[in-house]
Structure 1
Amino acid sequence: MQNRAPSAQPDHFVHDRLPPQDAWPTLRYDLPELQMAPQANLVQALFDQAERAGNIERPLLRGPHRSYTYREARDEAARIAEVLTQDHGLVPGNRVLLRGGNTVEMALAWLGTVYAGLVAVATMPLLRAGELANIIERAQPTLALCDGRLLGELQAAQVQHPVLTTIVPFHTAPDAADLIQRAQGKAGTTPPCPTAADDIALMAFTSGTTGAPKAAVHTHRDVMAACEAWPRHVLKATPDDIVAGSPPLAFTFGLGGLLVFPMWAGASVYFPDQPYTPETMVTLMRDAGVTICYTAPTFYRQMAPFAKAIGGLPQMRICVSAGEGLPEATRQLWKDATGIDMTDGIGATEMFHIFISSTGSDIRPGAVGKVVPGYTAKVVDDEGHEVPRGSVGKLAVVGPTGCKYLDDPRQARYVKAGWNYPGDAFMQDADGYFFYQARDDDMIITAGYNVGGPEVEDALLRHAAVAECAVIGVPDEERGMVVKAVCVLKPGHTGDAAMVKTLQDHVKATIAPFKYPRIVEFAASLPRTETGKLQRFKLRQGAATAVAAATSSPPKATTP
C-alpha cells in the first residue's frame, strides 16, 4: 500500500477487542443492494458513487467561508490521509481522535481519516478533560485532530494519558500550520486504503443517557449497509437537496444525516461553522435554502415559534426527528408552524442509525412508524418471545447492522440470541406500526398500572405553560412507584401550588387519570446530553431526596 511503509503492519487493536463471535448480533443482508464486495473503503465508495452518478463536480460541503465540490473534497481527503500516514506514520487500524463541531474542516478530517484506513473516534465538542481522558484510555489513539478553538480540554486530557502523543489542530488562523494548511503541501495522489469491508471504520461512544458511555464499533460494511436501508427506502434524498441540522458529527445521528447519507445521495451539506440557537437555525435554513433538516424533538419545539413568525420554510421538504421520542404535541406544533409532517425515526449508536421510521406519506398519529426495509423488528417479553399485537414489551431488532461493543460486558445485555435489544419498550399494532412507550427503565409501574413516561410528557407539553418536561417514577411505599414530573415553564408562568394543580388536572383530562403526576417539580432546565437527549437517570438518582422534600419545599407538591 502506498500510504504506509512496506514493513508496517496493520494495527489489530480494535479487532482484538471485539466481542466473541457467539456474542455478536446476527447480521442479515437479505436485500440485493446489501450484497457487497469483500474489499471496500467507505469513503472511496461514497466518492466513487458520486462520480458514477455524475455528481463529482456538484457541491458537497457548503460553509460561510469555503465550499467544496465532491472532487475537491476527495482530493482534500487524500491530502489529509497523506499528512496522517506520511508525516505521522499512522497505519491502518490506528485510532484517530477527532474533536470539533459541525464544520467543513471537521467533515474533511473525518473523511481523510477513514480514507487512510484509520479508525475515526469522533468526540462531542462539549466534552471536558475527564470525559476525553476516558475515551483516550479506551481507544488508545496516538494522534488527535482537533478544532483549534477546542484545544484546552484535550490538552488537559493528554497530560493524563500521554499515549496521545500528537495533537494536530484545524480551523485555526489562516497563516497557522494546521491540518488544512499542511494538507495543501501534499500531492493528494495516494489512493484510498484498500480496506476489507469488515475492517473497522469508526468507534462511536454512546451519549451517556444511562450511565458510562460505551464504545460501539462499526465496519466499512456496516455504514455502507446503513446507506442502503433507511436513506434508500425512506429518506430518498436527491442531488438537489441541501441538508443541515444540529446533531454533532460525533453522534451517529449527525454523522449519518449530515455527512454519509447526503454523500450517498449526491446531495450537499451546509455547515454554519458556529453553534446556533433555535432562532438562528431557522434563519440559516431559510437563507441557505435548506431542504432537509435533522434535529431532535426538543429543538423542533424550540424552533417552531420562529419558523411560524417568518411564515414557515417553503423550501423545506423533509424534517427528520430522532435521538429521543417524538411527542405528538411537538409533531403537531411543527406542522402548524411549517406545514411539514416530520419523519420520525428510532435508531441507535449501536445500530448506526434509523431502523424504524415514518415517512411524510405514511404517518399514524402516535406511532414512530414501521420497520425499515432490510431490518426485522418485534416486541418481546423477558424471555424473548413475541407478545401479541397491542401488548407492550421490549423491542428486538435484527438487520445488516448491529451492536459490537469494544471490550464491554454490557454486550451481553444488548445482544441476546443474535437480536439487538436497544432498551426500549414498544407496542406494535395489527398493521405493523410501532408505538414507543418508554426506555425500558423509564416504564413506571404504579399500583399495578404501567405508565410510559413519554406519554405523560406529551400530555404535559400540550399545556401552554410548559416549555419542557421529564417524567420519571419514584419509589412509593403504598403504590410501589408514583409518577413524578419535572417541568420547565415558559416565561410569564409561575411554578406554584396553583400551577401544580393546573397541570395535574390537565393531564387527567388528556389521558387516563391514573397516569397523572402525583409529584410535580419545577426547574430552570433539564439534564441533557450534548445531543439533546434527556438524562432521566440523573433525575432518578436524586428522586429519593426530591420525594422527601416534595411536601415541604415549594414549588414542589404532592397530591393524594
Structure 2
Amino acid sequence: MLMYERFIGRHRDDFVTLEDLYKNYSIKCSDDFNFAYDVLDQLAAEKPDSLAMLWVSKHGEEKRITFGEMKRWTDKTANYFKSLGIKKGDFVLLVLKRSYLFWYAILALHKIGAVAVQATHLLTTKDYVYRCQKAGIKMAVITGDGNCTEEFDKAAPECPTVQLKVVTGGKAAGEGWLDFEAGIAAASEDWQRPTGEEATKISDIMIAAFSSGTTGYPKMVAHDHSYPLGHIMTGVFWHRAEPGGLHFTISDTGWLKSLWGKLYGQWFAESAVFTYDFDTFSGADILEKLAKYRITTFCAPPTMYRFMLKEDVASYDLSALKHCCTAGEALNPEVYNQWKKATGLRIFEGFGQTETTLSCSTLYPWVQPRPGSMGLPTPGYDLVVVDENGNEVDPGVTGEICLRAESMASRPKGLFMGYYKDEGSTQRAWHDGLYHTGDTAYRDELGFLWYVGRNDDIIKSSGYRIGPFEVESALAEHPAVLESAVTGVPDPIRGFVVKATIVLSPGYEPSEELVKELQNHVKKTTAPYKYPRVIEFVSELPKTISGKIRRVAIREKDMRR
C-alpha cells in the first residue's frame, strides 16, 4: 500500500470517474498526525534505501539522499535544535534558498513541534525586522551565501526576541553566528517522538508563512499539522508523482510553493524530489537539467515556461517527462499551445494561495486542460463564485472565488487557521461561512473557471469590467511581447482606460508603429473594447520578491503623474 492510500483508503487509479473522486475522496488521520513521523519516518522504516531527494548545486555537485538518510539527519537536526533550547511552539526563521539543509531543518522543527517560518534570501534589513517582530522569532537559520547574514545583523537591534543565529557554510559577515553543519554533524541521531505535553497535535500551528504582499505589508498565514494532508491532492493527483519518479518544482524554499512541490505531496506518492540550487533562472539551463536527470514530472510558473520556450526546446531529450503543471499566475493559452507543440505534453493548471493548498485545477486523467481555464474545483474544497453579497452568480458572470468553510473546526485539510495575531484581517477574509480569496473568475456552462484577476486589478471602463489577464494573454501571442502588465489609468470620459506596460522581446524596439500593431493585435484576439489605449514600454516590470507582478505599483506611479 502506497503512503497516500493509508490516508484516503484507495489508490488514485481506483477512482473511476471524476464524479467518483468528488463523492468518495476523503482524508482520514489521527488527532496526533505529524508528517515528519507518520510519513517520513514510516518511509524510512519501510524503504530506507529509496531515493527521497536528488540535490544538485549551482556548480554541478550532486547529493543523493535516501529516506533512511533523511530520517537520520532530521533526527540529528532535531537534537541540535533541542540542545540550543528550541522547544514546542518556538518560532524559527529559515532562509536557506534551495539547500538540502532546508529539509533537515523544517522536518526537525516538525518533530519538535516548533513553528517553521520560511523566508527568501532576497529580504532586506527592514524585511527581517518586520518578520522577526511579527512572528516573535527565537532563532534564525540563514544561508551563508551572499549578504543575508549581513542584512540580518543590521536588523538584529530591532529584533529583541531573536536569541540564536545559525549560519550554513560556516561563514557569516558578523559575530555570534553558530555553524549549522558542524552542529548537526556533532548531534546524536537518537531521537524519540515526544510524549505528554511535548507531543504535537494535528491542531497545533506548524507553519507560519508570509503572503506576497502585492498591496501592502505581507500577512502572516498560519497552518497547522493537517496542512501536509491537503497536498495529497497536489502531489498525487495533480503533479501525478509516482514511486520511482523524480519530480521537479521550481521554487525557492523561502515560499510556501516549495512545500507544494518539493516535500509533502511528492513523498505521499513515494516519489523522489529533484532540487536544483541555482542562483539565476535560465531557460536553457532548466531544459538541460530536465534532460540530463530524466525528470518525470515538472511544475513551473507560466513565466518560466515562456522563457524556456524562447529556447530550442525540441533539441533537448525530454523523453522521460510524462506530466507538466503550472501555478503561481494564470496560464496564457499561447504558452500552453507552444509547449504542447514543442514537447507533445499538455500543461495542467492549478490555483491556490498561501492560505490554501490546490483548490482549483485540471486533474489528469479526469479533467483535460482547456487553454486559459483554471479548471474545476478540487475535491476536498467546496469552491463557489459569488457576488459582493456572498450569493453564487450565474455562469458567465464574474464574481469572487470563495471557499465554503463554516468554522476552523470544519475547514478542509489545507485551508489556513487564520492570520497570525491579526484577527481583523482574518475576519475580513473569512466570514459568513466563506473564505474570500480576493481573486475573481467566472464559470462557463461546463463548470470550468476562467480567471479574471485580483479584485483590486479589475478595470472599470465605460461600464465594462475588464480583467487584466485576458488582455495580457492576447499580448502574449505577439512575438514582440516578452512580459506585460495590464492596468487601468484614469480617463475623464471613460473613468478608466486600459493600459499595457510591456517588456519587449530581444530584437524589438519601441515605436509608434509597434504600438498600433499591438493595439490592432489585441482587437483581433479578444473583444475590441479591451484593447490597451495606452502602451508604455519598460525594461522591467515591478515585482514582489516572489516574482509576482505588482500592478499596484504601476497604478500608484501613474496616479502620481
Q: Shorter-normalised TM-score: what interval?
A: 0.7 to 0.9
CA offset digits 1:75-118 (Å, max 9, x no partner): 100110111112x1111000000011112112222211222211
Deviation of the 1:185 alpha carbon? 1.7
Match of 2:54 in 1: 62
1:282 counterpart = 2:287: yes
- Indicate if the aligned counterparts of 1:49 and 1:264 stay in contact, CA closer than 8 A: no
Indicate the percent of aligned positions where both proteins have the same amino acid. Answer: 30
Amino acid at match of 1:45: D
Aligned residues: 512
Match of 1:14 in 2: none
1:108 counterpart = 2:104: yes
Match of 1:77 in 2: 74
Match of 2:27 in 1: 34
Q: Which of 107, 112, 133 is equivalent to 1:137?
A: 133
CA distance in 2, matches of 1:445, 1:392: 13
1:151 counterpart = 2:157: no
CA offset digits 1:316-365 (Å, max 9, x no partner): 122221111111112112222222111101100011x2110013541123
CA distance in 2, matches of 1:294, 1:233: 13
Relative CO higher for 1 or 2, CA cutoff 8 Å, sep ≥ 6? 1
CA distance in 1, matches of 2:215, 2:29: 35
CA distance in 2, matches of 1:34, 1:95: 28
Deviation of the 1:230 alpha carbon? 3.2
RMSD after superposition: 1.9
Extract structure 1 runs of 4+ deviating beyond 6 A: none
- Indicate if the aligned counterparts of 1:483 and 1:515 stay in contact, CA closer than 8 A: yes
Amino acid at match of 1:538: A
Distance 1:202 1:82, change over 3 A: same
1:99 counterpart = 2:81: no
CA distance in 1, matches of 2:554, 2:284: 28
1:402 counterpart = 2:380: no
1:237 counterpart = 2:241: yes
Distance 1:124 1:302, change over 3 A: same
- Indicate if the aligned counterparts of 1:31 and 1:374 stay in contact, CA closer than 8 A: no
2:311 partner SS: helix
Paired residues for 1:421-500 under 5 Å: 421-500=436-515
Stretches of structure 2 that go unaligned for 5 or more consecutive residues are: 1-21, 56-60, 172-176, 405-411
1:542 partner SS: helix
Match of 1:186 in 2: 187
CA offset digits 1:282-303 (Å, max 9, x no partner): 1122112212222211111001
2:313 partner SS: helix
TM-score by length of 2: 0.87
CA offset digits 1:504-556 (Å, max 9, x no partner): 011011111110001000000111223321111111111224xx5xxxxxxxx
Match of 1:552 in 2: none
Amino acid at match of 1:60: A
Paired residues for 1:236-275 under 5 Å: 236-275=240-279
TM-score by length of 1: 0.88
Match of 1:556 in 2: none
CA distance in 2, matches of 1:374, 1:360: 16
2:277 partner SS: coil
- Indicate if the aligned counterparts of 1:470 and 1:534 stay in contact, CA closer than 8 A: yes
1:354 partner SS: coil
CA distance in 1, matches of 2:30, 2:364: 34
Amino acid at match of 2:214: T
1:340 counterpart = 2:336: no
CA offset digits 1:367-418 (Å, max 9, x no partner): 1111111111111100000011221111111333324101222212221212
Farther-moved stretch of structure 1 (35-44 vs 211-220)? 35-44
CA distance in 2, matches of 1:164, 1:281: 37
CA offset digits 1:200-239 (Å, max 9, x no partner): 1110100122221000000001222x13333343333112
Amino acid at match of 1:199: D
Match of 1:555 in 2: none
Match of 1:12 in 2: none
Distance 1:91 1:503, change over 3 A: same
CA distance in 2, matches of 1:245, 1:231: 11
- Indicate if the aligned counterparts of 2:243 and 2:270 stay in contact, CA closer than 8 A: yes
CA distance in 2, matches of 1:425, 1:205: 22
- Indicate if the aligned counterparts of 1:296 and 1:532 stay in contact, CA closer than 8 A: no
CA distance in 1, matches of 2:231, 2:133: 31
CA distance in 2, matches of 1:205, 1:67: 30
Deviation of the 1:484 alpha carbon? 0.4
Match of 1:320 in 2: 325
Amino acid at match of 2:47: N
Deviation of the 1:33 alpha carbon? 4.0
CA distance in 2, matches of 1:326, 1:347: 13
Match of 1:7 in 2: none
1:310 counterpart = 2:315: yes
Amino acid at match of 1:377: L
CA distance in 2, matches of 1:30, 1:49: 29
Q: Which of 161, 166, 169 is equivalent to 2:167?
A: 169
CA distance in 1, matches of 2:139, 2:156: 10
- Indicate if the aligned counterparts of 1:243 and 1:270 stay in contact, CA closer than 8 A: yes
Distance 1:302 1:199, change over 3 A: same
Distance 1:290 1:192, change over 3 A: farther
Match of 1:46 in 2: 39
Match of 1:10 in 2: none
Stretches of structure 1 that go unaligned for 5 or more consecutive residues are: 1-28, 549-560
Farther-moved stretch of structure 1 (357-366 vs 512-521)? 357-366
1:215 counterpart = 2:207: no
CA distance in 2, matches of 1:178, 1:253: 28
Amino acid at match of 2:31: P
Farther-moved stretch of structure 1 (368-377 vs 250-259)? 250-259
2:252 partner SS: coil
Q: Which of 508, 514, 534 is equivalent to 1:519?
A: 534
- Indicate if the aligned counterparts of 1:143 and 1:166 stay in contact, CA closer than 8 A: yes
1:383 counterpart = 2:389: yes
1:333 partner SS: helix
CA distance in 2, matches of 1:381, 1:140: 38
CA distance in 2, matches of 1:30, 1:207: 34
Deviation of the 1:263 alpha carbon? 1.7
Amino acid at match of 2:38: A
Match of 2:58 in 1: none
Match of 2:5 in 1: none
Amino acid at match of 1:342: I
CA distance in 2, matches of 1:170, 1:451: 48
- Indicate if the aligned counterparts of 2:288 and 2:316 stay in contact, CA closer than 8 A: no
- Indicate if the aligned counterparts of 1:83 and 1:186 stay in contact, CA closer than 8 A: yes
1:485 partner SS: strand
Deviation of the 1:136 alpha carbon? 0.2
CA distance in 2, matches of 1:301, 1:167: 39
1:207 partner SS: coil
Match of 2:408 in 1: none
Amino acid at match of 1:205: F
Deviation of the 1:312 alpha carbon? 5.5
CA distance in 2, matches of 1:504, 1:227: 42
Match of 2:4 in 1: none
